[in-house]
Structure 1
Amino acid sequence: MTGSPAGLAYGIQLPVQSQSTIYAESWEADAGPADLVEIARTADRAGFDYIASCDHVAIPRRLAPAMSTVWYDPVATLAHLAAVTTRTRLLSHVAIVGLRHPLLTAKQYATLDHLSGGRLVLGVGAGHVAEEFAVLGADFRQRGAVLDECVDALRAALGPEEYPVHHGKFFDFEGLGQRPRPAQERVPVWVGGSSPPAVRRAALKGDGWLPQGDPRGRLPELIAELRRLRAEAGIEAPLTVGAITEPLYVGRPAWDVGRRTLSGSPDALAESLRAYRAIGVDQIQVRFRCRSRSELTDQMAAFGADVAPDL
Structure 2
Amino acid sequence: MSLPYGIQLPVQSQSAIYAESWEADAGPEDLLAVARTADRAGFAYLASCDHVGIPRRLASAMSTVWYDPVATLAFLAAATERIRLLSHVAVVGLRHPLLTAKQFATLDHLSGGRLILGVGAGHVREEFEALGVDFERRGSVLDESIDALRAALGPDEFPEHHGKLYDFEGLGQRPRPAQERVPVWVGGSSPAAVRRAALKGDGWLPQGDPRDRLPAQIARIRRLREEAAIEGPFVVGAITEPLYVGKPGWDVGRRTVAGAAEELAESLRAYRAMGVHQIQVRFRCRSRSELTDQIEAFGAEVAPLL
TM normalised by structure 2 equals: 1.00
Instruction: Using the TM superposition, give the Cα deviation of residue 7 of structure 1 relative to its aligned residue in structure 2, in angstroms.
Output: 1.9
The one-letter amino acid of 1:265's match is A
Instruction: Using the TM superposition, give the Cα deviation of residue 236 of structure 1 relative to its aligned residue in structure 2, in angstroms.
Output: 1.2
Instruction: Using the TM superposition, give the Cα deviation of residue 56 of structure 1 relative to its aligned residue in structure 2, in angstroms.
Output: 0.2
Instruction: Using the TM superposition, give the Cα deviation of residue 238 of structure 1 relative to its aligned residue in structure 2, in angstroms.
Output: 1.5
Deviation per CA, 1:15-62, whole angstroms, max 9, x where unpaired? 000000000000000000000000000010000000000000000000
Say yes or no: does 1:25 pair with 2:17.
Answer: no
Q: Distance in 2 between matches of 1:83 and 1:138?
A: 33
Instruction: Using the TM superposition, give the Cα deviation of residue 295 of structure 1 relative to its aligned residue in structure 2, in angstroms.
Output: 0.1
Q: Distance in 2 between matches of 1:309 and 1:209?
A: 25
Give the corresponding residue for 2:145.
Answer: 150
Instruction: Using the TM superposition, give the Cα deviation of residue 213 of structure 1 relative to its aligned residue in structure 2, in angstroms.
Output: 1.6
Q: Distance in 2 between matches of 1:213 and 1:263?
A: 19
Deviation per CA, 1:221-269, whole angstroms, max 9, x where unpaired? 0000000000000011111000000000000000000000000000010
The one-letter amino acid of 2:253's match is G
Give the corresponding residue for 1:58.
Answer: 53
Deviation per CA, 1:124-169, whole angstroms, max 9, x where unpaired? 0000000000000111010000000000000000000000000001
Q: Distance in 1 between matches of 2:39 and 2:136?
A: 40
Unaligned runs of at least 5 residues, structure 1: 1-5
Unaligned runs of at least 5 residues, structure 2: none
TM normalised by structure 1 equals: 0.98
Instruction: Using the TM superposition, give the Cα deviation of residue 174 of structure 1 relative to its aligned residue in structure 2, in angstroms.
Output: 0.5
Give the corresponding residue for 2:88.
Answer: 93
Q: 1:39 aligns with which of 22, 34, 48?
A: 34
Runs of 4+ that moved beyond 3 A: none
RMSD: 0.4
Say yes or no: does 1:241 pair with 2:236.
Answer: yes
Once the two structures are superposed, the pairs formed by residues 118-133 of structure 1 within 5 Å of their partners are 118-133=113-128
Q: 1:216 aligns with which of 211, 222, 229?
A: 211
Say yes or no: does 1:76 pair with 2:85.
Answer: no
Percent identity between the two aligned chains: 81
Q: 1:137 aligns with which of 96, 112, 132?
A: 132
Deviation per CA, 1:273-309, whole angstroms, max 9, x where unpaired? 0000000000000000000000000000000000001
Instruction: Using the TM superposition, give the Cα deviation of residue 92 of structure 1 relative to its aligned residue in structure 2, in angstroms.
Output: 0.1
Q: Distance in 2 between matches of 1:236 and 1:189?
A: 15
Q: 2:163 aligns with which of 133, 148, 168?
A: 168
Give the paired residue count.
306
Q: Distance in 2 between matches of 1:124 and 1:156?
A: 15
